[in-house]
A and B are shown apart, each in its own frame.
Chain A
């Protein structure tokens, strides 16, 4: 039996599951928007602006969910500053939850600046800073470049956070960070596919998003298989309702079905909806499958 079975559950559930999903999605959307900011064409600008909006609101919701999940929410700032020696910074480069808190803050700051630039581009903000950040400027590109990296960091660190514990499934494989990151990119692309047309995204941009999503889904499936193989004997934990959800919900509904839809001419919207469902389920089953394993019950089994 893996030593991870002798640990206790942290009870991360209904604030953390949507946080992992929204954080990943926001990070993925920003990364794609930043990439198009740097290498796209002028007709791709609506997708860029949509990506910045998704990232900004996603960062805010993520921060709120993370704070609400704390046992003492008003002490959220203890993650950032040393409470006994304020304003000394609190930062541990070896603790994902510590550097993750900083990453969300900086990601949110970049997303806010990028969205300000996007608003200026749409003529909704007039300030000097907004103009300096608007479409295609050097400052706008720089902020997008840094924010895009933070975006991927936020999308992936949640999986690394789970791996840097001693819990079953999470600590039994090094693949969760990669899996969440790829899922974040694919769900980010899916949301941009859904929201883009409403903000004037061109047919060309949507086609690129669909083709990227297809490739990301194949990559996600490969990583999911690597994750399962790396679990070894612990994989039998999936012989449960969570395993059924993983197989049917994540692989079937969230990966294979969208891939089939992407092959059809007008299947992108439905595929995007299914990718979002699959992305949420991936976080839910990963967290709940491990959370259901209670230390004292496992210990009782070992004693017999």
Chain B
């Protein structure tokens, strides 16, 4: 059994070249949008804007500027987090979403029927429909490449090693070392998603960040959607019981009225 594999993305060394986006599109033969006539954002060098069914990698450009000269760019190559407790896998009604031998999460396109429950369940907004296949799609962590001992296309193409691929244990150690290095230089860095005791049992694609998660478009505390199943089910069942009772009370009242009418009619 292979070890759990994943990505460690050090956002401090990302230069926003988008080589990862291109490599991902190229290897996975992902189609362009509107025949390549994608609308430019007009206010950023980030024209991809988000992850979806045909963009499995997205370099997020975070432009924190105050005035003309003061500010910084934060860049982050975003991707599916391959959660240890994956919300998408949890709700998928067809069994299309599976956990592989590398502990990654993959959508089987030939099984998915495009119900889109996984899109609503993903706490990171990673999944969307690929309009060519009609199915939900996202990063597979290059499952086909992993099976033949190759590195995923994006990390292979990354020129600054912002995206690092390896076993989760090794990546966590590497990430921790880098956090300590940055902290010694006065940078307030931390790892997002590296804690196996944290939300969703940890993320097999985790990040080194230097600002709050929300700044990078990441939730503070992602959760499983089934947290609502029991309370919502219980409240529905209780409401059903109340309605049943209301209906029965109405029927009984009519019966009593009928009986009262018969009795008074009889007496008269």
Give A contacts to B, CB under 8 Å.
1, 3, 6-12, 31-32, 35-36, 39-41, 69-73, 75-76, 78-79, 82-84, 90, 92, 94-98, 101, 152, 156-157, 159-161, 163-167, 170-171, 174-178, 181-182, 185, 204, 207-208, 211-212, 215-216, 219, 223, 295-296, 298-299, 302-304
Contacts and interface: CB of A to CB of B under 8 A. Distances in A.
Given A7-B125, A8-B127, A219 B91 contact: no
Interface of B: 49-50, 52, 60, 62-64, 87, 90-96, 110-117, 119-129, 133-136, 214-223, 225-226, 228-229, 231-233, 235-236, 238-240, 242-244, 246-248, 250-251, 253-255
B232 A6 contact: no
Q: Which of A40, A208, A216, A299 has the most CB of B within 10 A?
A: A299
A72 B135 contact: yes
A171 B225 contact: yes
B236 A181 contact: yes
A39 B244 CA distance: 12
B251 A9 contact: no
Given A97-B117, A219-B242, 4 more contacts: A71-B112, A178-B239, A215-B250, A302-B217
The 4 nearest A-B residue pairs measured at CB? A71-B114, A299-B217, A295-B125, A3-B219
B228 A7 contact: no
Contact of A204 (B62, B120, B128, B254): B254
A29 to B, nearest CB: 12
A170 B121 CA distance: 11
A259 to B, nearest CB: 14
A11 B122 contact: no
A3 B119 contact: no
B228 A164 contact: yes
Nearest to B215: A303
Contacts of B134: 71-72
A78 B94 contact: yes
Contacts of B247: 32, 35, 212
B135 A71 contact: yes
A174 B123 contact: no
Nearest to A74: B113
A178 B125 contact: no
Given A7-B122, A7-B123, A95-B93, A72 B113 contact: yes
A72 B116 CA distance: 11
B78 to A, nearest CB: 10
A95 B126 CA distance: 20
A8 B94 contact: no
Given A72-B135, A78-B111, A90-B93, A3 B235 contact: no
Max chain A Cβ within 10 angstroms of own Cβ: one of B127, B133, B219, B226: B219
Contact of A97 (B93, B232, B233, B246): B93
Nearest to A227: B235
Given A11-B116, A78-B96, A174 B129 contact: no
- Chain B CB within 10 A, most for which of A12, A41, A83, A165: A165
B246 A3 contact: no
A6 B133 CA distance: 25
B42 to A, nearest CB: 12
Contact of B113 (A75, A165, A166, A219): A75
